[in-house]
Structure 1
Amino acid sequence: MKPTIARIWRGRTPREKADEYEAYNYEAGIKPLIEKALGVQTFREDRDTESEFVTISYWENIEAMSTFAGTDPTKIHHLERDSEFLIELPKEVQILRLLTSHGATG
């Protein structure tokens, strides 16, 4: 199966909570996502006072994504402890059609 959809989530934590959130997010959010998506990438950018996390998951189509994310795949399903870590709770995710992919990213 080839992905045709990318689902992008972004969240920011205070810099001092970033390491703890990274570990929590992986266990509670990324591991279950890995089992369902065709691929998952996670990113982290540390700034002076905050860290931004970005998760991109790849899906065969909107229907496959909806089986994981619910009938509205743009709706956020916050992790149980997100409010302890995140500066603000994200209100939506970005969904993009994947047009082309070149090179190795694995």
Structure 2
Amino acid sequence: MTTKPTIARIWRGRTRPEVADEYEAYNLAEGVPPLEKTALGVQLLREDREDETWFTTISYWADMDSMTAFTKGDPQAVHHLPRDKELLIELPEKIQIHRIVLDRKN
């Protein structure tokens, strides 16, 4: 039986446009793989704007306990990648945690 996610953990960060491709590749290589090993699913979204590029990582979890085990503590704490300070405009201070109310596919 497949476990359905009940929790979405959402991280958002932004870069300058000139380093957006570099950050995307870095996040795919360093940030996403640990999530792929543990979470039920992960998405990396990118929004290119004129003066900045936003990245959103959404990971899906069976419950708060599984997410807390992954984060080794406070699931709302931000776990920055080593190069985030160099590549991001500012270090995000928060993670959003949402309870999944509806998960329907057409």
With normalisation by structure 1, the TM-score equals: 0.95
Within a 5 Å distance, the mapping from 1:60-99 to structure 2 comes to: 60-99=62-101
CA–CA distance in 2 between the matches of 1:58 and 1:32? Answer: 13
Q: How many angstroms does 1:92 deviate by?
A: 1.1
Query: Which residue of 2 is the match for residue 17 of structure 1?
Result: 19
**3-state SS of 1:43 partner:** strand
- Which consecutive unaligned segments of at least 5 residues does structure 1 have? none
Once superposed, what is the RMSD of the aligned Cα atoms? Answer: 0.8
With normalisation by structure 2, the TM-score equals: 0.95
* Count of paired positions: 104
Runs of 4+ with >4 A deviation? none
Q: How many angstroms does 1:70 deviate by?
A: 2.1
AA partner of residue 52 (structure 2):
E
